Amino acid sequence: MNLLSWLSQFFSDPDRRHGPDSIVHRVGEHLLFSGEALGWAVLLAVPLGLLLGYTGKAAGLVTALSGAARALPTLGLVTLAVLVAGVGDTAVLVPLVALAAPVLLVAACEGVRSTDPDLRDAARGIGLTHRQVLWQVCIPWALPTLLAGLRTAAVQVIATATVASYVGLGGLGSYVVGGLATRDYAQTIGGALLVVLLAVATQLLFALLIRYALPAGLRRARD
Amino acid sequence: MDGEPLVRWHWVGTHLGYLRGLLLDHAVISLLPVLFGLLIALPLGLLCVRFPRLYQPLAAVFNVIYALPALAVFVVLIPYTGLATQATVMIPLTCYSLAVLLPTTVDGLRSVPEPVRQAATALGYGPWRRLAAVELPTAVPYLVAGLRVAAVSSISLASVGALVGRGGLGYLFMDGFQRTFPTPIVAGIVLVTALALVTDAVLLLARELLAPWARRESVVGR
């Protein structure tokens, strides 16, 4: 058996077209979970990061903590969370949010903090309030960094949601993990390929977003 | 998990040798790839600086590689490298390290100011001596910044290799999960994190020794 014959076996299986084990259903589950985790991470980390970046307080601490957070092994967090909280959405969401939040926190904080000080002074000088400076100067300035952070977080969450299937979460990982358990390599490899495609598609989507959705001035500021 | 404490210290006490073995295995499968990545990134980075047209396509390729989910890559390699072998885990980790280290190597080599380069040439340094005595030392802070990211994520990712049979400390997560016994999981998380933090500290120390001038500079915004 080689890679291609495994793949054709995987994609021609009727189970992959209809029902709960179909590709469409699994991709949907995967995206739903990843999106939910990313959403929570954005809600928790971005406002805090913007605030810390603007005040400049604890910025060093943020960077140090996020470095430590990057070392946390997600497979360990997922298994532990399931043992402690039981199989369920929360048990798997918590480790994924823990993975994405530090990345976003640092991106928001560093993005705002790197605002040209002259620009901030000028904005204050023409009479803008702190709130206005943050919204009208610092956040637009931070946007490229923030989007880059969001891209990293999204790709990491999508990749790691695969691992989470080990504890019985659906999504594309159930092909990979289920296939490994039953020595069904066609399923394992097919699932792996789908995760890869999903991750690369996400990466490309963000590349386009950063390229075309940002105003020209901001794109230049990024380079 | 009724009434089961998060950590049974007795288990930790009786399994110290076992934990040490897993820690050692983990260190090998996660840190050797970083070393390999560095050994490939240095000549490749030099080529990219010498032939700038090479850099964009290479950087794009490694950007995509970096986005590949580790578990998926491990799995795809199994038919070629086998289940539960070190190569299955180490080859992807080498690629991830390379993806981080190539841009930092190029940035580092490019950070040498042109007057410095010319001064070295004027002192009679040939290209190799200039590389060893001027360009590489200048790039050290950049390299260390890249190595810190590569090493920490490699250590964290290696545990996922347990799902394909070779993950060092990652084995503790599966073991604990299958037996509904959280102690090995907690021990695994603590040891993986500790290994990452110690490695990070060693790298910082190395930078301190090799490039003492770089202490309060944040060089790479990755």
Contact residues, chain B, for A72 at CB < 8 Å? 156, 189, 192-193
Could you give the CA distance from residue A94 to residue A106 in angstroms, rounded to a whole number? 19
Longest dimension (CA), chain A: 71
Could you give the CA distance from residue A154 to residue A107 in angstroms, rounded to a whole number? 13
Q: Which of residues 79-98 of A touch B (CB under 8 A)?
A: 79-80, 82-84
Cβ–Cβ below 8 Å for B193 and A203: no
Is A67 exposed, middle or buried, given 0-12, 13-18 or 19+ CB atoms closer than 10 A? middle
CB A157 within 8 A of CB A96: yes
Contact residues, chain B, for A160 at CB < 8 Å? 69
Average pLDDT along chain A: 86
Neighbour tally for A43: CB within 10 Å: 13
Interchain contact B2–A (C-beta under 8 A): no
Average pLDDT along chain B: 89
Residue A71 DSSP class: T
CATH number at residue A58: 1.10.3720.10
First to last CA, chain A: 47
pLDDT in tens, B14-35: 999 999 999 999 999 999 999 9
Geometric angle at alpha carbon B220, from A198 and A153, rounded to 5°? 25
Contact residues, chain B, for A6 at CB < 8 Å? 79
Residue A70 in tokens? 């990057």
Could you give the CA distance from residue A157 to residue A37 in angstroms, rounded to a whole number? 8
Q: What is the DSSP string of B83-118?
A: TT-HHHHHHHHHHHHHHHHHHHHHHHHHTS-HHHHH
Which pLDDT value is given to residue A220? 64
Residue A138 in tokens? 């610092």
Could you give the CA distance from residue A43 to residue A135 in angstroms, rounded to a whole number? 17
Could you give the CA distance from residue A164 to residue A90 in angstroms, rounded to a whole number? 12
Q: Is it the case that residue B219 has pLDDT exceeding 60?
A: no
Could you give the CA distance from residue B19 to residue B74 in angstroms, rounded to a whole number? 24
How far apart, in Å, are the Cα atoms of A91 and each of A84, B7, B79?
Answer: 8, 19, 33
How far apart, in Å, are the Cα atoms of B160 and each of B28, B34, B73, B90?
Answer: 15, 17, 11, 12
What is the number of CB-based contacts under 8 A between chain A and chain B? 140
Cβ–Cβ below 8 Å for A159 and B69: yes
Could you give the CA distance from residue B46 to residue B35 in angstroms, rounded to a whole number? 17
Interface with A, mutate which of B30, B71, B100 (most A CBs under 10 A)? B71
Place of tokens 């190569």: B87
Could you give the CA distance from residue A123 to residue A54 in angstroms, rounded to a whole number? 14
Cβ–Cβ below 8 Å for A192 and B76: yes
Cβ–Cβ below 8 Å for B177 and A185: no
Residue B29 in tokens? 């499968």
Closest chain B residue to A192, measured at CA: B72
Which pLDDT value is given to residue B26? 95
> Which amino acid, A73?
P
CB B98 within 8 A of CB B35: no
Q: How many domains does chain A have?
A: 1
Interchain contact A4–B (C-beta under 8 A): no
State which residues form the domain around A77.
3-222
Which of A64-68, B71-75, B160-164, B190-194 is modeled with the greatest confidence? B190-194
Tell me the pTM: 0.85
Could you give the CA distance from residue A136 to residue A124 in angstroms, rounded to a whole number? 11
CATH fold of the domain at B18-216: MetI-like fold (1.10.3720)
Which pLDDT value is given to residue A46? 94
pLDDT in tens, B32-45: 999 999 999 999 99
Q: Among candidates A74, A197, A202, A114, which has minimal Cα distance to A150?
A: A202
Interchain contact A119–B (C-beta under 8 A): no
Geometric angle at alpha carbon B176, from B170 and B179, rounded to 5°? 145
CA-CA-CA-CA torsion for B79, B80, B82, B84, nearest 10 degrees? Answer: -100
Closest chain B residue to A154, measured at CA: B67
Q: Hey, where are the domains in chain B?
A: 18-216
Rounded to the nearest angstrom, the minimum Cα separation between B121 and chain A is: 31
Q: With a cut of 50, which residues of chain A have pLDDT below it? A: none
Could you give the CA distance from residue A156 to residue A146 in angstroms, rounded to a whole number? 15
Q: What is the DSSP string of A180-206?
A: HHTT-HHHHHHHHHHHHHHHHHHHHHH
Instruction: Tell me the pLDDT band of B92, cut-offs 50, 70 and 90.
Output: very high
Rounded to the nearest angstrom, the minimum Cα separation between A126 and chain B is: 31
Interchain contact B64–A (C-beta under 8 A): yes
Instruction: Tell me the pLDDT band of B2, cut-offs 50, 70 and 90.
Output: low
pLDDT in tens, B109-163: 998 888 988 999 999 998 889 988 889 988 999 999 999 999 998 999 999 999 8
Q: What share of chain A is helix, strand, coil (3-state, %, to 5)?
A: 85, 0, 15
Mean pLDDT value across residues B177-192 = 93
